[in-house]
Amino acid sequence: MAYLILIRHGQSEWNEKGLWTGWNDIGLNDQGRLEAQTAAEKIEDIKIDKAYTSDLKRAQQTLHEIVTKLKIRKLPTIIAPELKERNYGDLAGKNKWEVKEQYGEEQFMKWRRSWDYPIPNGESLKDVYHRVIPYYEKHILPELKKGKNILIAAHGNSLRALVKELDNITDEEIPKLEIGTGEVYVYQIDEKGNVIFKEIRAVN
């Protein structure tokens, strides 16, 4: 049996302002660093063998805060662009609540939460799924099957895509899933790669 730990990055400077961030490389703010440290406290009972994170600094900074808090030395870490946030295309950098006011609740929610509704010049969650899941199955799942405990520090949508797969969430139900900054999901995975237990240890 192995542990798979999923942690969304802490609050970023743009999260605080309500801006769609996407592939913009925005760092954590002070609150985000505290959220990462709190996340670390929730998993201090688990020995982490290897970590994966995206190529965006808010995820890497979150991992750094966790590793520092837990006093882990020389944690093998893989930076994977496949785990980065959803590309928000033409919406990137815009204020979410101003967009909601301009286009209305229905259109806003299609862009923000739907499974396969496209953003102009961006990605749908389905697109994110089709880059995250093949990477997980090829690189991360084999490590879990070997009994290694894996930590993934990533983003709201890349983690939603992975949780959809792990929890067998339907296309119709996935819009209801939101993972807050600093939230911690812990899965137990058996030697065949199946989920045998899940718990949410921190909710923001």
Catalytic residue chosen out of the listed positions 65, 85, 123, 183: 85
Could you tell me how far CA 168 lies from the centroid of its own chain? 17
- Is 178 an active-site residue? no
DSSP 8-state secondary structure symbol assigned to residue 112: H
CA 191, CA 204: separation in Å to the nearest integer? 31
Catalytic site includes residue 85:
yes
Cα 192 from Cα 82, distance rounded (Å): 24
- Please tell me the number of Cα atoms within 13 Å of 69 on its side-chain side: 19
Select from 55, 63, 56, 47 the least CA-distant residue to 6: 63
Q: Which of 9, 123, 143, 183 is catalytic?
A: 9
CA–CA dist 134, 121 (Å, integer): 23
Whether 112 contacts 96, CB under 8 Å: yes
Residue among 64, 72, 17 nearest 36 (CA): 64
For residues 159 and 140, the answer to whether their CB atoms sit within 8 Å is no
**Token pair belonging to 127:** 């697109």
Report the catalytic residues. 9, 85
